[in-house]
Amino acid sequence: MWIKPEILVVASILTTLAYASYRDIKYRDIPEVTWVPAIIASVVVNILTGKYDIMHTALSMFPVLIVFIMSLLGMIGGADFLALLTIAIAHPQFLLLPISLLTLMYSLLIPLGLMMYYALCNIILHRQLLNRIKCKEGRKSYLILFGRPMKAKELLEKKFTYPLTIPVSKGEFICRPSFSDDDEEEERIKERIKGAIAKGELQSSEKLWVTPGLPHVVFFLIGYVLALLTPQQYLLTILLY
């Protein structure tokens, strides 16, 4: 009994995303070669079954372009771009919305929920701490939306956690919205914090605003599954009738 080509494509994407999610959680590092087998399998299957056409493929690639621009701006990792690119190549056809677009939309729900949680906690519980922060560069709004307070000593011991407030002098900070993809740069910033503690400019018990390095490929895996389960046929029927 032959396995349907669509099942082979979905199986290859799910397997790849599951492995990439494991790597993202454990190491925050996914080798580029991870995506190659699934991309090759998807291209071969879709060419043989005549799934590629200019209009649908272009629309499927549009969300990938958005994520690519975000990765260039340092807002999201390169692996996230490759994950969505793989999904778009695998699913060029759609009834109502591209699978790549649905995956992206679903994947953003968790980070958006986290931002809302941070904002509520920071405004209600940490207002006094926020008022004491002096941003020599950047804005406090970054801290409200993207971070939470953590003791400097605890930050230095944490993996995949990055400072949003970088000390520049006693009581003054650079306030940033996110962290750099450059691991060496982030290590230099942590050394800078250690130096500030050593000089007495910062107490080890003093709280800095930090943000987690989220394993966004995991969110793409969840979003992909939800995108496949979205009943586009019923949605299309409702819209038409």
Judge whether 93 and 55 are in contact, CB under 8 Å. Answer: no
Q: What would the pLDDT profile of 139-151 be if each residue is shown by its tens digit?
A: 999 999 999 999 9
pLDDT mean across residues, the chain: 91
Q: pLDDT tens across 131-185, in order?
A: 889 999 999 999 999 999 999 999 999 989 999 999 988 888 999 998 887 888 9
Q: What is the pLDDT of residues 61-80, one digit of tens each?
A: 999 999 999 888 777 788 99
For residues 69 and 177, what is the distance between their CA atoms, to the nearest angstrom? 17
Q: DSSP label at 3?
A: P
pLDDT at residue 1, rounded to an integer: 41
Mean pLDDT of all residues in 81-86: 96
SS3 of residue 144 by DSSP? helix
Nearest CA-CA partner of 34 in 56, 50, 18, 57:
18
Residues forming a β-bridge with 145: none
